[in-house]
Every structure is written in structure tokens, then in C-alpha cells.
Structure 1
Amino acid sequence: MEILTTEFFQRALIGGLLIGVTGPLMGLFLVLRRLSMIGDTLAHVSIAGVALGFLIGVYPIAVGLIFALAASFAIEKLRKAYKTYAELSIAIIMSGGVALASLFFTLGMGFNVNVSSYLFGSIYTLDNMDLIVIGAVTVVVLVLLRLHVKELFLLTFDEDAAAVNGLPVRYYNLMMSVLTALVISASIKIVGALLISALLTIPAACSLVAARSFRQSVFIVVIVAEIAVIAGLLIAGVWNLAPGATIVLLLIAILLVMLFGRTRFRTSG
């Protein structure tokens, strides 16, 4: 296992472990609120920002983050405008993100190879700046979730009750959207824009199978994600596979095992 001693693999492992905490935690809140498609939407918009970053010669993840944050604000605005059809906001912003990405791809055909690493993930190419960004995002997300866990819990399970109790629902909705945008922008180079929703949703799906409480769900999503990240990186490194895709397929495999195990348990019971 010589790969464990290489610097690029150690950076990949650190980045993967950090995102393996924040990604599934944000995904759990999104899934419980039936907003899991927001992850896909912000990922597509973030890719448009990455493409623009390459085009103008600015750090791509930073531009992707700006785009994702702008999209998170826009989604909240549109959700208010279309209260009865809130999912329209997600569809509209996703369409705009795809259109912008396509436009920037066309304007800068020469960087298509570089952008592909952000589409499908390129965790082995993480540099020190990437780790600093990922680490900063991890700290911000964990601190804010810890400080506001009670309010977010109430908002997640009964938004109307939260509003009646005087909770600033608009503020917390916006905070969740911004935190999701931060996590997606930081994750995009690890698993890629096309696979990021798997990191957000599949651990949460596993928790819905096994958890009996919200606290258990929090532990399960993190454990499942970290197992997939560590095992996926090792498997991909040894057999020269795409690490992002390997991590996602392992997440799906874990979910299938848990579903099969629950079915067998019910049958035997």
C-alpha cells in the first residue's frame, strides 16, 4: 500500500474525510425537507462559475462558490414568489445554470479537459489551497449547525410550527441554502458536479432505513459517508479507478445492503 505514503493521496484523504462530514449532514436536512434536488441545482450553477473562472483566469472554486451563493439567494426568492409550486424555483435555477455552463464551455473550448475534472471529480489533484477552502467550509458549517441545531430541527420537521413560534423562518431557510452552496462548491472537485447529489442524498437514504431518531440519523449519515470515502479512495488508488465514481458506487452498494438487510429482518421477524 505504497499509495498511502504519497502526498497527493494524503491530501485526497483529508479532503474526502472533511466533506464526508459536512456533505451528508447538509444532505440530511435537505432530504428530510424534501429539497434534495437543490444539491443538483447548485452543483450545475457552480459548474458555470468554475467554467467562468477558467475563462477569466480566476481561482475556479471561488467563482463557483459565488455562483452557488447567488443561486441559493435566487432559489429562496423564487420559492417565496411560487409558494404553491416551490419546486419551480429549483427547475428554473437549474436550467439557468446549465445554460450558463454551456455558454462558458463554448467560449473557452481550450479548457474543456480541466473543467471535466470538476464535472466528474478529481480528488487526487487537490492542492493546499483546496484543502484550506474545504477546511474553512467544514468549520463554518459545523459551528453554525451546532449553534442552531434546535431551530433547524424544528424548521425541518414543521416549518409552519416554527413560524408560529416566532422563529425567523426566512433567515434559517436562507442560511441552509447558503451552507448547502458552500458545501457543494467545496465538494465539487472531490466527487464532481454530476455526482455531488449522491454524497448529499444517499447517506441520508441510508439513515432513513436504519435510524430510529434524528440523532441516530446524524451519526449514520456521517459513518456511511466516511466508510465510502475511505474505502472508495483505497479501491480507486489500488486499481486505478475514478475515485469520485467509486465513492458513489460504494454509497449505493451500502444502501442496497441496508435495504436488503431490513427486508430480510422483517421477513424473518
Structure 2
Amino acid sequence: MLDIVTSEFFGRALIGGILIGVTAPLMGLFLVLRRLAMIGDTLAHVSIAGVALGFLIGVYPMGVGLIFALVATLAIEKLRKAYKTYAELSIAIIMSGGVALASLLFTLGKGFNVSVTGYLFGSIYTLDTIDLVLIGVVTVIVLLAVRIHFKELFLLTFDEDAAAVSGLPTRYFNFMISVLTALVISVSIKIVGALLVSALLTIPAACSLVIARSFRQSVITVVVIAEIAVIGGLLIAGIWNLAPGGTIVLLLIALLLLLLSVKGKSTAA
């Protein structure tokens, strides 16, 4: 165990995991409370298409994935305005397009399919310095945005109509949340994988809904739950040679089931 903890690759994985353990559940909380949890899956699938294109043209894959996620965010906002009554259509349309484009790019670049698999299921042990710098920058941006606009985000999350009536520029803040989410997801897919990234967005939020009694408590709880799962998952995966992304997600689910069980027993009592 000591050899794993002191190894260079595990150190990078731990740093990257801890940073994502702050930003992903934080943005996920806003999405879950606004019933937009599926946006995470959508942007993750679109990011994979960008990653595939990056491998195909020889450009930094995570960077291209980030650009794709931002473009998808703009498209979702446009479609949500076009289908106000059926806003969820925008998410379904963009997800379908992302999956279709990714499958097309996979067939064009069969030689890099093995590399792309790391982004599908996570490859946290392969994080390099550039990855960590990008993750760090995104973390700083997210934390600053949430700290500066905490009151506005709180009002927007729980009563968007009241926020609009009070003069809050709801369109701007909706767009800001979408962009921040796109940034977080695009840098998270190499850690837990595109197929599992939504778990890191939603399960800590689900845990906070079980035990937190206020919005501020929820913000703290989601981060604590995510960090326990990330650090614990990495240690377990390292010791028993398991897939780190899958281990982190399963540990999150175990924590959720434990909290639900404890709450059920206390309610029955």
C-alpha cells in the first residue's frame, strides 16, 4: 500500500481526483435541484466525440472535448428557447447527435479506439501535468464563480421566476451554470469516464438530499461525500488492482444506500 501511495502516478491521480471531487458534485447539486441532471450525460457523450476528433487530428484530446462540450452547451440553450414547453427535447437531441458523431469518428480512426476507451471508462492513473493544470484552472474558475454569485445561484436554483421578477439576469446565470458544467464534465471524463461521470454529478447530490437540512449544508455535504468516495475508491482500486472510475462510483452508491438505510431506521424509530 505504501508503494502505491508514494508512487508518482498515484500522486497525480489523487490530486486530479480531489480537484474533481470538489467541482463535479458542486455543479451536480445545482443541476439536480433544477431537475437538469441529464445534462451531465449529454455533455459527457458530446465530449467523447471531441476526444475522438482530437485523436484523429492529433490535437490534445481533452482540449477538443472541452470545446465540443461548450458548443453543445450553446446548442442546448438555443434549443431550450425553441422548445420552451418541451425543454427536455434539447437534451435528447444533443445527446443523440453526440453519440452519432462519436460513433462516426470511432469508425474513421479505428487505430485509436483503445486510447478512447480510457475516456469512456476513465483512466485517472494516466493523468499528466497538462491534465492537472487544466483541471486546476477549471476548479479555480468554478469555485470563484460559486463564491461570488452564491446568493444569485441559490435564488435561481429554488425559484427562477422570483429571480427573474427581482431583476436577476436569469439568462446570464443559466448560461454560466451550463458553461461551468461543460468545463467540469470535459475535464472529468479522463478521471471517471464519460459513461460514469454523471454519477459523480448526481449521487453526491442524492446523498446530500438525504442528510442536509439547508442549501449551505448541501454544498458542504456533496463535496465531503465525493471526496470520501474519490480518495477511498482510489485506495481500494490501487490495492486490489481494480478499475478506479468504477470503484469510485460503486463506493458512492454504497454511501448512498448506507445513508438511506440509516435514515430509514431513524424514521421508523
Interval containing the TM-score (normalised by the shorter chain): over 0.9
Residues in 1 aligned to 2:76 and 2:143: alpha-carbon distance in whole angstroms:
23
Deviations 1:80-115 (A, max 9, x none): 111110000000000000000000001000000000
1:208 matches 2:221: no
2:27 is matched with 26
Match of 1:184 in 2: 185
SS in 2 for 1:258: helix
Number of the residue aligned with 2:11: 10
Q: TM-score, with normalisation over the residues of structure 2?
A: 0.99
- Partners of 1:85 and 1:95 in 2: CA distance: 16
Q: Give CA-to-partner distance per residue, 1:5-61, whole Å, 9 cap, x none.
A: 100000000000000000000000000000000000000000000000000000000
Q: Report what 2:223 is aligned to.
A: 222
Q: CA deviation at 1:246?
A: 0.1
Identity of aligned residues (%): 79
Q: For residues 168 and 214 of structure 1, what CA distance do their matches in structure 2 show?
A: 21
Q: Does 1:152 pair with 2:125?
A: no
Deviating 4+ runs (over 2 angstroms): none
Aligned to 1:264: 265
In structure 2, what residue type is equivalent to 1:46? S
Of the structure 1 ranges 75-84 and 242-251, higher mean CA displacement relative to structure 2 is found in 75-84
The 5 A counterparts of 1:97-176 are: 97-176=98-177
SS of residue in 1 equivalent to 2:178 = helix
The offset of 1:266, in angstroms, is 0.6
Taking the aligned partners of 1:17 and 1:78, their CA distance within structure 2 comes to: 34
For 2:31, the aligned partner's letter is L
Q: How far is the alpha carbon of 1:209 from its aligned partner?
A: 0.5
Equivalent residue letter for 1:243: P
Cα distance in 1, alignment partners of residues 151 and 30 from structure 2: 12
Structure 1 counterpart of 2:10, one-letter code: F
Name the TM-score, length of structure 1 as normaliser. Answer: 0.99
CA distance in 1, matches of 2:196, 2:28: 13
In the aligned structure 1, how far is the partner of 2:176 from the partner of 2:217?
A: 23
The Cα shift of 1:75 comes to 0.5
SS of the residue 2:265 aligns to: helix
- How far apart are the structure 2 equivalents of 1:266 and 1:142? 35
Question: Which residue in the other structure is 1:245 paired with?
Answer: 246
Residues 158-181 of structure 1, C-alpha deviation per residue, up to 9 Å, x if partnerless? 111111111111111110000000
Distance 1:19 1:233 in 2: 13
What is the root-mean-square deviation of aligned Cα atoms in Å? 0.4
1:242 and 1:167 mapped to 2: Cα distance? 44
Match for 1:156: what amino acid?
T
Q: SS at the partner of 1:216?
A: helix
Size of the alignment, in residue pairs? 268
| Structure 1 letter corresponding to 2:41 | D
CA-to-partner distance for each residue in 1:185-226, whole Å, 9 max, x for gaps?
Answer: 110100000000000000000000001100110111000000
Gaps of 5+ in 2: none
Q: Distance in 1 between matches of 2:43 and 2:51?
A: 12
The CA distance in 1 between the partners of 2:35 and 2:28, in whole Å, is 10
- Structural mapping, 1:52-67, within 5 Å: 52-67=53-68
Amino acid at match of 1:10: G
| Structure 1 CA distance for aligned equivalents of residues 73 and 123 of structure 2 | 25
The aligned counterpart of 2:83 is 82
Q: Distance in 2 between matches of 1:220 and 1:266?
A: 20
Consecutive unaligned residues of structure 1, counting only runs of 5 or more, are: none
